Every structure is written in C-alpha cells, then in structure tokens.
Copies of this chain bind each other. A is one copy, B any other.
C-alpha cells in the first residue's frame, strides 16, 4: 500500500488518525523520501535502486520494500508530496505574459540541476503507481493554471467561452516536447515564442468551445 501523503518538514504531528504514527515511522518516511530525492539527483532514475535508497536513508531494505513496494511506490510518494505545495501560476497582467512566465518556470524546472523534475517524468514510465501519481500531478498543475485563462477572459483579452485546457496545452506543450522528448538544448526564446503563438491563436477563437458549458 502506498503510505499516504507524508507531511512536509516539521509539520505538527496531527492527532494520530493513523493506527500508529509514532515518531519512528514518520522519521523513517522522511529519511527515505529525502534519500529518494538525493539518489534521483545523483544517479538519475536509472540508478535509483531500493538498496541505495535504503542505505542512504539508514534503514533496512526490507522496510522500504514493505512500505513502498517497489521503486514506483517511492516515486509515487514523492510525486504526491509535490502536489502538496502552494504553487500558483504567475500573474503578470496579460495572457501572453502569464503564459511566457509559466513556460519559463517549466523550462527552468526541466533544466534544473540536478534534473529531478526530468528524472521524475522519465521515471513515471517505469511504474504504474508512479504513472498514476504523475497524472495526478499534471491534473493538479493544469487545473491551477486555468486561472490564467479566467483572468484573461475577465480582462476581455479572450472570448468568453475559451477552453482553458487546450489553450494551456498548446502553450506549454512545445516546451515539454523540446526538452523532454526531443532533448534539444534549452532555447531561451522558446517560452516566449510558444506563449505568443498560443495567445495569438486564442485571440483568434481557436480554443472556443462550439457548444457551451461543455467540459472535456
């Protein structure tokens, strides 16, 4: 079973809804998840072995196997933990500015050193559990970004019935595509260009729903 979302650093020990949220369990969980991030940054997703994680965390392999099952369980837990932050999309005052800033954040995250984000995306292909967690993270992030489109509609930059998701996908997909799939070196102009392209198509009604109130 997956060990539900762990609390971030130093969170107050909540009044024990779980059978035994003892100090040892929480401490080991934090140690293991930190070890996963560290191993992921050093050796990449391919060098992420249960043995190395357990050794770095200072716990026995069997403990990691029982609580997380396999590497995918570890990744899934890390990904779910990533959804617990308070991230919000940028707010620059214009649609194109928001999308460009968003794309810049994406590019920075994908090219950061160590490449943890890229490693997590790549690793999500190896496991069903990590895949599901990755999808939840995508859904969470794109849902939060919908406010960008809402604001643009409120500013009358976009027609009222613009579909947020396809617009956000069109704006961000080129950045992911080039950096994750094509693996081309980062292009400083790409975030802005992709944002401009999507904003242009959006203002030309390329993302308005034919029927109203129809969510995909």
Contact = CB atoms under 8 A, between A and B. Distances in A.
A177 interface: yes
Contacts of A193: 166, 206
A180 B169 CA distance: 13
What DSSP secondary structure best describes chain A's contact surface?
Answer: helix
Contact of A174 (B45, B126, B170, B204): B170
A134 B124 CA distance: 19
A138 B183 CA distance: 10
A52 interface: no
Interface string A101-124: 000000000000000000001100
B182 A135 contact: yes
Given A45-B125, A122-B125, A204-B204, A197 B177 contact: no
Interface in A152-194: 166, 169-170, 172-174, 176-178, 180-183, 187, 193-194
Interface size of A as a range? 35 or more
A200 interface: yes
A1 B148 CA distance: 49
A196 interface: yes
A69 to B, nearest CB: 15
Contact of A197 (B181, B183, B187, B206): B206
Contacts of A45: 125
Contacts of A187: 216
A123 B138 CA distance: 21
Contacts of A178: 169, 173
A117 to B, nearest CB: 12
A183 B121 CA distance: 12
Given A170-B194, A201-B201, 9 more contacts: A134-B183, A135-B183, A166-B193, A169-B174, A169-B178, A170-B174, A173-B177, A176-B177, A193-B206
Q: Which 5 A-B pairs have the closest CB atoms?
A: A173-B177, A122-B125, A173-B173, A173-B174, A197-B201
8 contacts: A46-B126, A131-B183, A135-B183, A138-B181, A172-B177, A176-B177, A197-B207, A201-B201
